[in-house]
């Protein structure tokens, strides 16, 4: 009976440790409330201000192309 309690305790401790590690890395990488734009650009190595005019021009060109509705009937109607 004593070994069962040890196994349960170790499993609980390992689970708590894994949760703590996952929470730390999630908050570190996904939740970036204090990130500054300049710091983010420096880390990425990309100055998006150089690319934005081309992106906007491409977006306008794409929006200006003729469009048509396309319908496909599935095999079951």
pLDDT digits (tens, 9 = 90+) for 39-67: 766 767 777 788 889 999 999 999 999 99
Domain ranges in the chain are: 1-31, 35-63
Give pairs for 45-49: CB < 8 Å, separation 24+. Answer: none
pLDDT digits (tens, 9 = 90+) for 14-27: 999 999 999 998 88
């Amino acid at each position: 009976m004593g070994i069962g309690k040890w196994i349960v305790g170790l499993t609980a401790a390992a689970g708590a440790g894994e949760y703590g590690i996952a929470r730390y890395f999630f908050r570190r990488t996904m939740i970036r409330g204090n990130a500054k734009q300049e710091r983010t650009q420096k880390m990425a190595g990309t100055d998006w201000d150089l690319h934005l005019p081309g992106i906007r021009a491409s977006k306008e060109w794409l929006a200006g192309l003729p469009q048509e509705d396309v319908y496909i009937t599935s095999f079951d109607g």
